[in-house]
Homo-oligomer: A and B are copies of this chain.
Amino acid sequence: MREKGKTPENQLSDEEILSLQEKDFRLLMLKIMQDIGYKLQAKMDNLQETLSKEIQAIKLKQDEIQNTITEIKNSLEAANSRIREAEERISKVEDRLVEIIDAEQKREKRLKTNEESLRKLWDNVKCTNIHIIWVPEGEERERTEKIFQEIVAKNFPNMGKEPLTQIQEAQGVPYKINLRRNTPRHILIKLTKIKDKDKILKAAREQKQITYKGTPVRLLADFSAETLQARREWHDILDVMQEKNLQPRLLYPARLSFRFEGEIKSFTDKQKLKEFSNTKLALQQILKELL
C-alpha cells in the first residue's frame, strides 16, 4: 500500500508502525486522522471553489444573454411599430391611389367627351367646306376663289351662278413643302350653305372626271382629322362590298351602310360589324381578313 499512501506519516511501513512504541503509535494515529480530515476538506474546498467559479461565469453569461434578449425585444418592438407605421402609410397611399384612379377614370371620360365634342365641332365648322386637290401643270398662281369658280363653271355648267356668289372663304391649305411642279395643291372653299356643298359634291361624284386647266381635280368633303380617319378605316371594306354588289355607302360622319338580305344595315365601327358578320356566314366570307 506504499504506492497509494504518500503522506509522510504513511512513509512508515506497516512493519515499522507495528514496531512503534505504544505512545508513538497513538501520536501517529492522531496525526494521520487529522491529516485525512484536512486533506479531504482542502480537496472539497477546492472543488467547491472550482465549480462555484464555473457557475458564477455561467450566471454572468446568462445575465449578459438576458440583457441582450431585452435589447432584442426592445429592438423588435421598435421594428414592429415601424412596420405598423409603414403599413398605415401604405394603406393611406392605397386609398389615395383608389381615389386617383377613380378621379382619373372620371377625367378620362370627360376627356373623351371633350374629344368627341371637338370632333363634332370641327365637323360642324367644316360642314360647308369643299376640299380641292390637284397637281398643277404650270406655275399658275391664281386666286383660290377664282380657281374654284372656274372649276365649277367648267365642270358643272348647269349649276348656275347662285352658289358661287355665296363663297364665304377660300384659302390655300398651308403646307411646308415647296410649290414644286408635280406637288399636289390643296384649296379649302367655305360655302355659306351646306345645300350648295352637297349639290357640288354630288355633281362631282356623278361626273367621271373633274378638271382644272386640263389637269384632273378632286373635290372632297372636309372633315375633322378624327372623322377622316374613321372614314378611311372603312375604305377596304367599302371596296370589297362594292365588288360583291352590296351597295355600300359611307354615311355622315363615318357610318357604313349596305344592303344585306334585303335590308339596309348600318354600323358605326368595325367591332359592331364583326359581331353582326359572325352570325351571317355569307357576310363573314366576304369580309374575312378585313375585320
Contacts and interface: CB of A to CB of B under 8 A. Distances in A.
Nearest to A127: B169
Q: Tell me the number of copies of this protein.
A: 3
B47 A44 contact: yes
Contact of A79 (B58, B83, B111): B83
A269 interface: no
A283 to B, nearest CB: 23
A17 B26 contact: yes
Interface in A101-135: 101, 103-104, 107-108, 110-111, 114-115, 117-118, 121-122, 124-125, 127-128
A273 interface: no
Contacts of A86: 83, 86-87, 90
Interface in A183-209: 192-195
Contact of A111 (B33, B96, B111, B125): B111
A171 interface: yes
A30 B14 contact: yes
A23 B15 CA distance: 10
A68 interface: yes
Contact of A194 (B14, B52, B94, B169): B169
Interface of A: 1, 4-5, 14, 17-18, 22-23, 25-27, 29-30, 32-34, 36-41, 43-44, 47-48, 51-52, 54-55, 58-59, 61-62, 65-66, 68-69, 72-73, 75-76, 79-80, 82-83, 86-87, 89-90, 93-94, 96-97, 100-101, 103-104, 107-108, 110-111, 114-115, 117-118, 121-122, 124-125, 127-128, 145, 167-169, 171, 192-195
